[in-house]
Structure 1
Amino acid sequence: MTKHSQAYVVGMYEHPTRHAPDISTAQLHFEVARGALIDAGLTLDDVDGYFCASDAPGMGAATMAEYIGLRNIRHTDSTETGGSAYLVHVGHAAAAIAAGKCNIALITMADRPLGAKQGIKLGGVDLTQFVDLAYTGAFPIPPLAGYAAVANRHMYEYGTTSEQLAWVKVAASHHAQHNPHALLRDVVTVDDVVNSPLVADPLHRLDCCVVTDGGGAIVLARADIARRIKRPMVKVKGCGEAIRHRTNDRFDLTTSGAIWSGQAAFAEAGITPSDVKYVSIYDSFTITVVVQLEDLGFCAKGEGGPFVADGNLISGVGRLPFNTDGGGLCSNHPGNRGGMTKLLEAVRQARGEAHPAVQVPNHDLVLAHGTGGSLASYHVSSTVILEAE
């Protein structure tokens, strides 16, 4: 067995709110922790490993363990990699379980940029401490402009079109209509996307993700404990993580860290992309999905546009269903950190608990992938492969 495959996902919970003006971030962390433990049939006292990122207020794990009421923690990890942090935490938690550092690990994520009126700010991150801003602060690149640059380069290099990118949003909207908690539930067409306002050439308004409050939590456990819990068995099959940076601005805008994190996860799982029948892919923008599908090996570099077109990402229609909850493009992107929601829907699919209209029949192997940072600059990619037993 690998260092990760000795751990199983036994609990999960996604907060239903998309706007939390009257709930503190700490309270959101507590509510998602409680929800995931109830799902697993466990209590706070059963948890001996706790994982969180800088969206957790105060002194991270120390503050939140006390606030939540976690009294028996003997292993903790506050790794911060932006939106991919929670997928990184799955790998770290699974490795800790295999090493005997803990038996039951809780991962929480929660933030409220709308309730706190922070806009697109990444909760818990002090932008004044970014060392590169001393040199680039006079000419900041907001996320939208950076991803527009990625899209432009992809179009220049490979002939990708706005209509092909639009199909990513169309697929997400087809799935979101079945999610009662999705922020945007209306089904859209390719014409709707390309005719929506242009916000940063070539990206339109509907090419962009939503911004929400909320959060989620995952519980992992040792194999023998998982077998005693009356929940579907979902094994952590393989994990990978990688940092991609600009190398003094000499780098390829169309390539992400997924080329390394995906290879590591597939190698550890002992499978290939063709074995995976469902994916949860980070979808901050439509171009994000295209680049990551290529780098993960689901299609060749430059073929992402045709791969996602014509409904190929729609469950029950296409070759590779993705983000069947509606994803960050339509449902939920709490704290501008989309990694946790990718994990949650991947677990639902592996359990066979997704909405019947979007549940993938062959769901024994599913993949979740996240990016923290920006594809246009430095970022951390993390890939998690889950297996339903």
Structure 2
Amino acid sequence: MTFEHLRGKAAIVGVAESDLGDVGPQRYAIELAAQAAYRALEDAGLRSTDVDGLFSCVMGRFMSNLDFGEYMGIRPRYSDSGVIGGSSFLSYVFHAAAAIDAGLCDTALIVYGSTPRADGHRRQPLTGSPERPNYEAPYKPRHPVSGYALATARHMHQYGTTREQLAEVAVAARAWAQLNPAAFHYGKGPLTVGEVLDSKMISSPLTIRDCCLVTDGGGALVMTSAERAKQLRKPPVYLLGAGEAHSHRSISQMPDLTTTCAVESSARAYAMAGVKPSDVNVLQLYDAFTINPIMFLEDLGFCAKGEGGAFVADGRIAPGGSLPVNTNGGGLAHCHPGMYGIFALIEAARQVRGEAGERQQKGVDIALAQGNGGQFSSQVTAILGSEAAL
């Protein structure tokens, strides 16, 4: 089942981020989530009292929707806060579209907040007991980086992908961040392949520049029906297609370390949207590590399996390249407050609306956002489009 009947039935009408970066120890995740939510509602020309569908993940809150609903004074008639990692927010967009189409809610708020840097300043301990059983724990992996390093090493062995090619992903992300005043690495100057290779090794073959940022931040999206969207403040960004899949929890149980179930999620999203990779104008890919975009470009159909490393070489995904990827700087150079998926959606929506400033691409009618959770565990693909794409 590909849910073609949902194509274009719902639209994103508001997007916003909270304050990002290092917000200080006096601020907490729920505050940033609320700040992003108010900004997104303002962007849409709506109020919190208009919200009757709530989809949230506030880090450190076991009953996220209850806490956030209370904090914002929202009493939803449809509620969803299931967490499948950084892909959760793309899943929420898909589920919100289905709920709106079914009449279960009219206005959906999708929101995230997290403060890993502030938590570090507070020396806030990790809460909750370890997940048991955990068959990897005796080997003392440094997760999540150990899992992604394992997949990277296998991709290098199997397909000849090089550390220089991985570094090209980080170099491109920094270049995009130079065009985004909100990016954590804005103004830090360009990055070179040599600097990536020479930076501190974290988990071989990944150096610190192959790894995402650790920042504070929140993000929010507002969705409603296509009909109502046309009456609101900003041009609607329609959900054309979506698909989700997950294949494992532990990296040791990943069926193939070089192929993610983005193959499945994207096939479902393309079928629902009625488009193919060559129709996509911009890509926003979850880049927790430099291997992610390389593997996603393969699994989403932009190049053949094993060719991702060569595909990203020579600035192909950087500003001025033939395929704009992670135009806000991504998790490697813009922000990464624990989970990144909602920020991929926000940037995709801004590109479709033509609101990305200096980094705006011309003629963006179709944007693809790819969410990733766990260690290549869960994958959700969302294809967004302008009215011209309907």
TM range (shorter): over 0.9
Distance 1:248 1:177, change over 3 A: closer
In the alignment, residue 156 of structure 2 is paired with which amino acid?
M
Q: Do structure 1's residue 324 and structure 2's residue 332 form an aligned pair?
A: no
Structure 2 counterpart of 1:90, from 86, 89, 93:
93
Distance 1:199 1:24, change over 3 A: closer
Aligned-partner SS, 2:195: helix
Deviation at residue 117 of structure 1 after TM alignment: 1.5
**Structure 1 residues 286-323: Cα deviation after superposition (integer angstroms, max 9, x where no partner):** 001111111111111000001111111013x2121111
Question: Unmatched 5+ residue regions in structure 2?
Answer: none
In the alignment, residue 180 of structure 2 is paired with which amino acid?
N
Deviation at residue 136 of structure 1 after TM alignment: 2.8
Aligned-partner SS, 2:171: helix
Do the aligned partners of 1:277 and 1:320 also contact (CA within 8 Å) in 2?
Answer: yes
| Structure 1: distance between partners of 2:317 and 2:69 | 39
Q: Do structure 1's residue 34 and structure 2's residue 35 form an aligned pair?
A: no
**Structure 1 residues 62-112: Cα deviation after superposition (integer angstroms, max 9, x where no partner):** 2211111114x1111011111111111000001101111111100010010
| Structure 2: distance between partners of 1:38 and 1:115 | 26
The residue that corresponds to 1:384 in the other structure is 382
Do the aligned partners of 1:74 and 1:101 also contact (CA within 8 Å) in 2?
Answer: yes
| Structure 2: distance between partners of 1:239 and 1:367 | 10
| Structure 2: distance between partners of 1:127 and 1:337 | 21
The residue that corresponds to 1:374 in the other structure is 375
Distance 1:303 1:346, change over 3 A: same
Aligned-partner SS, 2:382: strand
| Structure 2: distance between partners of 1:38 and 1:252 | 44
**Structure 1 residues 179-202: Cα deviation after superposition (integer angstroms, max 9, x where no partner):** 222111321111221122222221
Do the aligned partners of 2:57 and 2:113 also contact (CA within 8 Å) in 1?
Answer: no
Aligned-partner SS, 1:80: coil
In the alignment, residue 82 of structure 1 is paired with which amino acid?
G
How many residues in Structure 1 have an aligned counterpart in Structure 2? 379
Q: Do structure 1's residue 343 and structure 2's residue 345 form an aligned pair?
A: yes
Deviation at residue 56 of structure 1 after TM alignment: 6.5
Deviation at residue 368 of structure 1 after TM alignment: 0.4
Distance 1:122 1:11, change over 3 A: farther
Q: Do structure 1's residue 140 and structure 2's residue 140 form an aligned pair?
A: yes
Distance 1:233 1:314, change over 3 A: same
| Structure 2: distance between partners of 1:267 and 1:49 | 27
The residue that corresponds to 1:106 in the other structure is 109
| Coordinate RMSD, CA, aligned | 2.1
| Structure 1: distance between partners of 2:184 and 2:357 | 16
Aligned-partner SS, 1:343: helix
| Structure 2: distance between partners of 1:56 and 1:224 | 37
Aligned sequence identity (%): 43
Q: Do structure 1's residue 81 and structure 2's residue 87 form an aligned pair?
A: no
Aligned-partner SS, 1:52: strand
Question: Unmatched 5+ residue regions in structure 1?
Answer: none
| Structure 1: distance between partners of 2:163 and 2:114 | 32
TM-score scaled to structure 1, two decimals? Answer: 0.93
The residue that corresponds to 1:271 in the other structure is 275
Alignment map for 1:109-188 (pairs within 5 Å): 109-117=112-120, 126=128, 128=130, 130-133=131-134, 135-141=135-141, 142-185=143-186, 186-188=189-191
TM-score scaled to structure 2, two decimals? Answer: 0.93
Aligned-partner SS, 1:91: helix
